Amino acid sequence: MRGPHNIVRLIRTGATMVRTGAMNAVLDAFEAPRPLRAVAYTLGWPFQWMGYKGDEEMPAATRALTALGPAYIKFGQVLSTRPDVVGNDLARQLRVLQDKLPPFSRSEAIQQVEQELGRPMGEVFSEFSEPIAAASIAQVHKARLVDSGQEVAVKVLRPGIERAFNRDVDAFYLAARIADLFAPGARRLRPMDVIKHFDGVVQGELDLRLESAAASEFAANTVNDEGFQLPQVLWNYSGRRVMTLGWADGTALGDNAALDAAGHDRRVLAERVLSLFLRHALRDGFFHADMHQGNLKVAANGDIIAYDFGIMGHIDEYTRRVYAEILYGFIKRDYKRVAEVHFEAGYVPADQDVDEFARALRAVGEPIFGMDAAHISMGRLLNYLFEVTERFGMETRTELILLQRTMVVVEGVARSLDPHMNIWESAHPVVEDYIKSSIGPKAVASDLAKTAKVLARFGPRLPALVERALIDQSKPAPQRSDRKMDWLVPGAVGLGLGVLLCLGVTYLT
């Protein structure tokens, strides 16, 4: 599908921005310089007749992104949580994209439910409401089960959403390829890998069985987290295009007036949102990666309720430790250690100078720590860090894209609750606790125990490996089947000693 027709798609994107009036709003929000404005209008204005008209009742930016399709809507959702980046006016406009998009009809939803579950609606739900929330990929209905009378939320994919989203992402691939070919400075960002990663994440969101599985795993990880709730997945009433969960009552996290009227302390909620995200990312390596206001509620008792688990992030234990050490180093203002971690992890080429890199990091961190709490921003730190790593030849880490993006989104949510929140003070205890548990004697013992379990699986195979190696070694040189087998005897013996050593460590710990 990645053919020349996608060039038309990209031109239409610019044309739509001009036709809907969104171009001005976006350029103003980002304080674009005059040369960039001139280029944007030169490319977009002659083709505005090709742009989509959109819903004229919507604000300009929302109108443009909604007309362009689901992938663009996802981008707008991220920007809606960053009023410090795009300004309060544009952020307010884009917030509509979170859960207030035009819905499809109830009859279409019923048809999909019956087809997916293989039963008539009346046998499954005694009540099935009109859509109560509509987002870029799916919409939600409130319903009641026939069997138990339980109130539930039923999520249904938009008809034809798979094709529509693939069309958008297809054009993104072309844009990434063009950047690869004609913008050498962008190659270190690996735009093709970035789009491929984004594509994979969204393809998972288009199968609600995967979302149900993610919700179930997330619930198991967080069952003991104070101040946090998740609705229960009802597997018997879920499938690829339909997902049913227990109903969650609460106040929308994005409605500050309602939160104040309900007596909730927004400062406490802001700290809770940030600390919960960091705990899930660092402790579990599995986190909600779409934590905007449209996916969060506050229960009557003050608990945060999360839902919509289509985009979940996963990072391995080694990467979590690296990320935590980098964060902790910035919190402690230990820039030499932050630089060393980048080199140890291979994020910065070994031919660079670690001391020079540390000084560059200090230039990033110190101005931020000198700011008033209201202006300390993780987003700003990531932006400055991006500039520094570019100078030192650091490539984009695709495994960290979702984590970094979510960190920025969560910070935006927290700041919308408490504009004067000190991000570093809130992050400090969570990161410090993780550092203590993951780096030190306990962590070493735990790592050895895990290694022992892996090596122990080879135990039953050791005698055969050693025997085969000895027989092969005893053959005359010309008759040996493969000179590469010379390593087997010492290797097998070493493996055996390693297993015994690790088993001993496991026993002692």
CA quadruple 220, 397, 381, 322: dihedral positive or negative? positive
C-alpha to C-alpha distances, 475 to 87, 468, 486, 490, 493, nearest whole angstrom:
77, 11, 11, 17, 19
Give residue 495's pLDDT: 45
Residues 400 and 491 in one domain: no
Same domain for 356 and 469, yes or no, is no
- Catalytic site includes residue 290: yes
Helices (H) and strands (E) in the chain, counts: 23, 10
Is residue 213 in some structural domain? no
Do both 390 and 491 map to the same domain? no
pLDDT lower than 70: segments of the chain: 1-5, 29-33, 35-37, 39-40, 42-44, 78-88, 98-100, 178-191, 194, 368-387, 389-390, 395-401, 439-447, 450, 453-459, 462, 473-509
pLDDT at 400: 67
pLDDT reported for residue 502: 45
Cα gap 41→17, rounded to integer Å: 10
**Domain closes at, from 417, 439, 461:** 439
Phi, psi of 226 (to 5 degrees): -70, 135
How many Cβ atoms sit within 10 Å of the Cβ of residue 88?
A: 11
Identify the domain boundary among 97, 115, 135: 97
Q: Which helix (H) or strand (E) holds 305?
A: strand 304-306
Q: Is 223 a domain residue?
A: no
Residues 377 and 468 in one domain: no
Range of the domain at 495: 442-508
Whether 44 is in a domain gets the answer yes
Q: For the chain, how big is the Rg over CA atoms in Å?
A: 27
Residue 89 lies in a domain: yes
Looking at the 3D structure of the chain, how many domains does it have? 3
CB neighbours (10 Å) of residue 102?
A: 10
Q: Let me know whether 435 and 447 are in one domain.
A: no
225 domain-assigned? no
Residues 388/395, Cβ–Cβ less than 8 Å: no
490 and 399 both lie in a single domain: no
Identify the pLDDT of residue 359: 92
CB 279 within 8 Å of CB 430: yes
Do residues 481 and 351 both lie within one domain? no
Same domain membership, residue 478 and residue 342:
no
Same-domain pairing of 359 and 468: no
Say whether both 354 and 453 belong to one domain.
no
The owner of tokens 């839902």 is: 307
Q: Judge whether 107 lies within some domain.
A: no
What's residue 205's pLDDT? 80
**Do 447 and 429 have their domain in common?**
no
**Polymer length in residues for the chain:** 509
| Residue 117 is assigned to a structural domain of this protein | no
Q: Which domain-ending residue is among 40, 71, 97? A: 97
Catalytic residue among 225, 290, 308, 418: 290
CB-based burial label for 485 (10 Å; 0-12, 13-18, 19+): middle
Count other C-beta atoms under 10 Å from residue 476's C-beta.
6
* 3-class SS of residue 485: helix
Together in a domain, 432 and 387: yes
Residue 392 lies in a domain: yes
